Chain A
């Protein structure tokens, strides 16, 4: 199993450009998440999905859109990039059993380092 993979690993954009970050997981997980990590601020949840075809806003959703057309993929889009979106983006997934046990353990991808000039 590859676990959680993210593409691309690095990207430089100019202000106003658009791009899509792809997250894929091969663990048949129901839940998927997009976070951003900034120095001194920890990880903050952007959007998440509790299943195929569903998405929900997290703590910092403005300027981002997401789609979960297939269970294994979760896409994060930036329609008009801004310098404030310079960050490291992490995708994660979890398999929520709903019963006592290994619920909610998150598995993370290696991250995408995005710079917006």
Chain B
């Protein structure tokens, strides 16, 4: 069974700092990996999707990388802002979707 791990569980940074969130998975036989953002009491919003054949995807201040052979993905957030405060989850798609437990990010003004 696929296991998806996100470390750290919580992260607090000052505004303006660049940061990296980590996601690891145990089974490299995946079709894609997706990063989501979840605000308290809300649903998930898709940020980036990386196909298994791709190495990275970029959207604005966000950059996600994928190293399928080592079972790792990172989400890089540049010039963090208080509005980036949320929980970030990664999900991998094998025969079905498997989610990590998320990293709770707080950006301090």
Does chain B have a CB within 8 A of A2?
no
Question: Among A11-19, A66-74, A102-110, which stretch is in contact with chain B?
Answer: A102-110
Q: Using Cβ atoms and an 8 Å threshold, which residues of chain B touch A44?
A: 99
Contact B93 A104 (CB under 8 A): yes
Q: How far is the CA of A90 from the CA of B96 in the complex (A)?
A: 16
CB neighbours of B102 from chain A (8 A): 42
How many Å lie between the Cα of A92 and that of B102 in the bound state? Answer: 18
- CB-based contact A40/B101 at 8 Å: yes
Q: Is A62 an interface residue (CB 8 A)?
A: no
Contact at A58–B96, with CB atoms within 8 Å?
yes
A41 CA to B6 CA, complexed, in Å: 12
**Contact A59–B96 (Cβ < 8 Å):** yes
Of chain B, the residue at the smallest CB distance from A38 is: B101
- Name A's B-contacting residues (CB within 8 A): 4, 33, 35, 40-45, 48, 58-59, 90, 92, 100, 102-111
Residue numbers in B under 8 Å from A107 (CB-CB): 46
Contact bitstring B45-81, A, C-beta under 8 A = 1, else 0:
1100101010000000000000000000000000000
Instruction: Give the Cβ gap from A101 to chain B, nearest Cβ, in Å.
Output: 9
Inter-chain contact B46/A105, CB cutoff 8 Å = yes
Contact of B49 among A43, A104, A109 (CB under 8 A): A104
Partner of A109, one of B43, B53, B99, B101: B43
